[in-house]
Structure 1
Amino acid sequence: MHITLRQLEVFCEVLKSGSTTQASQGMSLSQSAVSAALADLEGQLGVQLFDRVGKRLVVNEHGRLLYPRALALLEQAMEIEQLFREDNGALRVYASSTIGNYLLPGMIAGWRRDYPDLPLELSVGNSQDVINAVADFRVDIGLIEGPCHRPDLISEPWLEDELVVFAAPDADIFNQPVTLDTLASATWILREKGSGTREIVDYLLLSHLPQFRLALELGNSEAIKHAVRHGMGISCLSRRVIEEPLALGTLREVAIPLPELNRTLYRIHHRQKHLSRPLLRFLSYCIE
């Protein structure tokens, strides 16, 4: 069965006007086109939808059964057209944890104020989870904390971020000059493998240490902050993540004998993914 919306539209117009002549005028179609569409619809259904009374077409029991359903389908089709005529669209965004938990909420707030009715599905995971989801087309775009090396994905620099080594205010590391040796002998609490933060910490910081003592790997920055605050070790996270406890004095920054630990946050999408106007509009809010 291949019923078309045009056939249903013709049927509803004929029912309202009572003739193919008036229906053709209302739809700016020829009478023969209207008659052909109605005949095709009746042929598809295998029933007559109208009784022919002189030159008038009077809807019968079959037509009355079809009419509300035809109207509902046509109204849904109009809703779909209107949805995209207004350039709307449901967005699927996947962000690594630092971005999703600490950067995006403030950015999304402005977008939500301007577009309160547009649906947004935001997922948060580690960078490798984001990369996999983008590669599988499960999301429209990903925001990650380190570079992406997959050739099927486009990776674009997005924001700059600073990493900070920190400890509890009364940690032993503050009782002596901080050197690479003292950093190496400290007990470290780090993000898990696959995290963008961990990849950058390994590259920018830990690669300079002759060795290091790894006490815990945690998949959550909040858990790391609490563990460090309770004296379980030192760690390295984005300044955005720990700026509040640093200001309150519940955590303390460790000045390290290395250049600033700066990194670039990236925006990724599949090479074959079309970046729609709603998506680009959303991304225009994701700036500092």
Structure 2
Amino acid sequence: MHITLRQLDVFAEVLKSGSTTQASQMLALSQSAVSAALADLEGQLGVQLFDRVGKRLVVNEHGRLLYPRVVALLEQAAEIEQLFRDDNGAIRVYASSTIGNYILPEIIARYRRDFPELPLELSVGNSQDVINAVADFRVDIGLIEGPCHTADIVTEPWLEDELVVFAAPGSAILQQPVTLETLSTAQWILRERGSGTREIVDYLLLSHLPQFRLGMELGNSEAIKHAVRHGLGISCLSRRVIAEQLESGTLVEVPVPLPRLVRRLYRIRHRQKHLSNALMRFLRYCDS
């Protein structure tokens, strides 16, 4: 068997574009050369990698099995090409909102001071968005606010994070002893479902209440802070998120009759993701 990197590159591009015509344009090859490379690869493997549906090529179970391994091989080949250069491949990071907005800026600042020219792509979304991007090989590494149970993803404990319940100064809940009952009758303003923060708040806090009143769900922490500050309800977010407001007194921590609400932040990557030197270097900054 003599599989070539060109054949694998052609396979990956055809999978992404869905046709040999578009793949030939992306690879600057003739359509006949693309078709021949794909046919040679399928011949050597003894299986079809795509179902032919009219003029479209739809990846089948054999192609889906092969694709992650092809991506890993092509990334390793690219790393070999860069081995004696500046090792300056772009790192793609996807972080959930608390991490992306309140933890990563300091890490990236330190990284940039030492490597000002190296490209770094950062996306921010909720935890489920991050998991999906890692599973689809759209990013190199993910940082999320709760555990991931997807079989193809490696989940590693990363940092500890404390959650706090908070309200506006003068809120009614602060005018009486705070009990599970008073917490259950308050209006709660929470992150949307799919958020790592929401998953942990449901598990660590709301599961202990006799009931709870959901006032509204909001898609980002800044909106929640403003809503709470204007007296629309109470909430629970990372201490990192509201640290400045607690210090200035525009928000007040609500003491709850429960153990400290502590969660673990996680680092995730695809099980078949190749860890390049550039990626390992960035991860060292995340751990320092």
Same fold (TM over 0.5): yes
Question: Which residue in 1 is equivalent to 2:196?
Answer: 196
Query: Is 1:114 matched with 2:114?
Result: yes
For 2:287 and 2:262, how far apart are their aligned partners in 1? 18
Q: Which runs of 4+ in 1 moved over 4 A?
A: 80-84
For structure 2, which runs of at least 5 residues remain unmatched after alignment? 1-79
SS of 2:281's equivalent in the other structure is helix
- 1:93-148 Cα distance to aligned partner (Å, 9 max, x none): 00000000000001100101111111111000000000000000000000000000
- 1:225-273 Cα distance to aligned partner (Å, 9 max, x none): 0000000000000000000000000000000000000000000000000
For 1:279 and 1:81, how far apart are their aligned partners in 2? 16
Which of the two has higher C-alpha Rg?
1
For structure 1, which runs of at least 5 residues remain unmatched after alignment? 1-79
Assess if the C-alpha contact under 8 Å between 1:229 and 1:250 holds in 2. yes
For 1:140 and 1:82, how far apart are their aligned partners in 2? 17
For 2:220 and 2:287, how far apart are their aligned partners in 1? 24
Query: Is 1:280 matched with 2:280?
Result: yes
Assess if the C-alpha contact under 8 Å between 1:107 and 1:287 holds in 2. no
Assess if the C-alpha contact under 8 Å between 1:134 and 1:141 holds in 2. yes
- 1:189-220 Cα distance to aligned partner (Å, 9 max, x none): 00000000000000000000111000110011
**Comparing 278-287 and 207-216, the one that deviates more:** 278-287
Query: Is 1:216 matched with 2:210?
Result: no
Task: Say what the alpha-carbon RMSD is for the aligned residues.
Answer: 1.2
Question: Which residue in 2 is equivalent to 1:56?
Answer: none
For 2:116 and 2:99, how far apart are their aligned partners in 1? 22
Map 1:79-118 onto structure 2 (within 5 A): 81=81, 85-118=85-118
Q: Aligned pair in 2 of structure 1 residues 82, 137: CA closer, same or farther (>3 Å)?
A: closer
For 1:155 and 1:219, how far apart are their aligned partners in 2? 25
Map 1:1-288 onto structure 2 (within 5 A): 81=81, 85-287=85-287
For 2:233 and 2:110, how far apart are their aligned partners in 1? 38
For 1:234 and 1:83, how far apart are their aligned partners in 2? 53
Q: TM-score, normalised by structure 2?
A: 0.71
Structure 2 residue identity aligned to 1:280: M
Assess if the C-alpha contact under 8 Å between 2:201 and 2:236 holds in 1. yes
SS of 2:150's equivalent in the other structure is coil
For 1:84 and 1:163, how far apart are their aligned partners in 2? 46
Q: Aligned pair in 2 of structure 1 residues 229, 136: CA closer, same or farther (>3 Å)?
A: same
Shift of 1:285: 1.0
SS of 1:128's equivalent in the other structure is helix
Q: Aligned pair in 2 of structure 1 residues 210, 283: CA closer, same or farther (>3 Å)?
A: same
For 2:84 and 2:277, how far apart are their aligned partners in 1? 11
Structure 2 residue identity aligned to 1:219: G
Q: Aligned pair in 2 of structure 1 residues 88, 232: CA closer, same or farther (>3 Å)?
A: same
For 1:153 and 1:147, how far apart are their aligned partners in 2? 11
SS of 1:286's equivalent in the other structure is helix
For 1:103 and 1:168, how far apart are their aligned partners in 2? 24
- 1:3-37 Cα distance to aligned partner (Å, 9 max, x none): xxxxxxxxxxxxxxxxxxxxxxxxxxxxxxxxxxx
For 1:87 and 1:179, how far apart are their aligned partners in 2? 56
Q: Aligned pair in 2 of structure 1 residues 81, 253: CA closer, same or farther (>3 Å)?
A: same
